[in-house]
């Protein structure tokens, strides 16, 4: 690509990321997420089609994982200090992903008061949208890295070094070509609550902290899918292999004890 064309593509990519942040940030008071959290239970709220698409994928992941992936864990993250407390009414402690109803066109209804956080899945979606917005010509090489959510496109594979913060053994080097990679781990972000170490990743079925000593990278076609799968793998480990295979995804998992494991749709 010529320099001017490359700069324009990069600007389109940044604009796409900014738009996802505007729509789906837990922290922005005017985002779709904040509007939904303020609404509580009752009437339907219309959201942007992009927000609706991410919510649809989040609900599919919740169903496929029997609730392990659950965006309504926001209330727990607030309680543990990982997210700021909204000024809105308190959520129902019994609320879960099953209390979210999505209906066309782009309407969202909560059947109980709850707080949602799209967090990582929205970040993965932003990376995917940035790649699409850049509209690269054939043969162009591109790599987008948004804090560990990575998407690579082009004729050449790129090497990525996986370094688990809790792992001192051999470090895997992956070659990624026209694919995405997302990573999650809780060791560097944990805190102590009531004498127990907790991290920012939860099992939605138990509301217990997972991944405080683990690290995972997932390779999939789309970054949104890869990011969501990392949370499920942190909770399930190798038991998530079938779900990974359904998405043609591979997990590189380090549990701090047995070292590196690879499972899923291993190529």
Indicate the CATH number for domain 141-264. 3.10.520.10
Between CA 233 and CA 239 the distance in angstroms is 8
Beta-strand relationship, 208-209 and 173-176: unpaired
Contact 99/72 with Cβ under 8 angstroms?
Answer: yes
Q: Which of 242, 192, 224, 197 is nearest to 66 (CA)?
A: 242
pTM: 0.92
Indicate the CATH number for domain 3-119. 3.10.520.10
pLDDT < 50: residue spans in the chain = none
Q: What is the pLDDT of residue 193?
A: 76
Q: What is the pLDDT of residue 91?
A: 92
Q: What is the pLDDT of residue 249?
A: 96
Q: What is the pLDDT of residue 212?
A: 82
Q: What is the pLDDT of residue 235?
A: 94
Q: Fold match between 3-119 and 141-264?
A: yes
Measure CA of the first residue to CA of the last residue in the chain; give whole Å.
Answer: 31
Domain ranges of the chain: 3-119, 141-264
- Angle CA(140)–CA(144)–CA(149) in degrees, nearest 5? 145
Beta-strand relationship, 202-203 and 196-198: unpaired
As beta bridge partners, residue 250 has 219, 264
The two three-digit tokens of residue 65, written as one number = 């994982």
Q: What is the pLDDT of residue 12?
A: 94
């Amino acid at each position: 690509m010529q320099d001017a064309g490359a700069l324009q593509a990069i600007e389109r990519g940044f604009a796409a990321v900014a738009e996802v942040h505007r729509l789906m940030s837990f922290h922005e008071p005017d985002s779709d997420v904040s509007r939904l959290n303020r609404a509580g239970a009752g009437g339907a709220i219309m959201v942007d089609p992009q927000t609706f698409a991410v919510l649809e994928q989040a609900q599919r992941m919740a169903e496929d994982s029997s609730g392990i992936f659950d965006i309504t864990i926001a209330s727990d993250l607030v309680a543990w200090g990982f997210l700021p407390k909204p000024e809105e009414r308190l959520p129902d402690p019994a609320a879960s992903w099953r209390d979210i109803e999505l209906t066309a066109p782009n309407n969202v209804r909560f059947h109980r008061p709850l707080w949602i956080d799209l967090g990582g899945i929205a970040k993965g979606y932003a990376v995917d949208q940035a790649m699409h917005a850049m509209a690269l010509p054939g043969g162009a090489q591109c790599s987008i890295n948004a804090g560990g959510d990575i998407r690579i496109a082009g004729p050449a594979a790129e090497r990525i070094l996986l370094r688990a913060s809790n792992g001192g053994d051999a470090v895997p080097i992956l070659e990624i070509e026209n694919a995405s990679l997302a990573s999650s781990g809780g060791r560097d972000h944990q805190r102590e609550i009531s004498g127990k170490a907790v991290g920012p990743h939860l099992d939605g079925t138990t509301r217990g902290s997972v991944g405080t000593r683990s690290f995972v990278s997932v390779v999939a076609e789309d970054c949104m899918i890869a990011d969501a799968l990392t949370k499920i793998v942190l909770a399930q480990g190798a038991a998530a292999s079938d779900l990974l295979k359904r998405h043609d995804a591979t997990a590189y998992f380090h549990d701090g004890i047995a070292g590196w494991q690879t499972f899923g749709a291993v190529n």
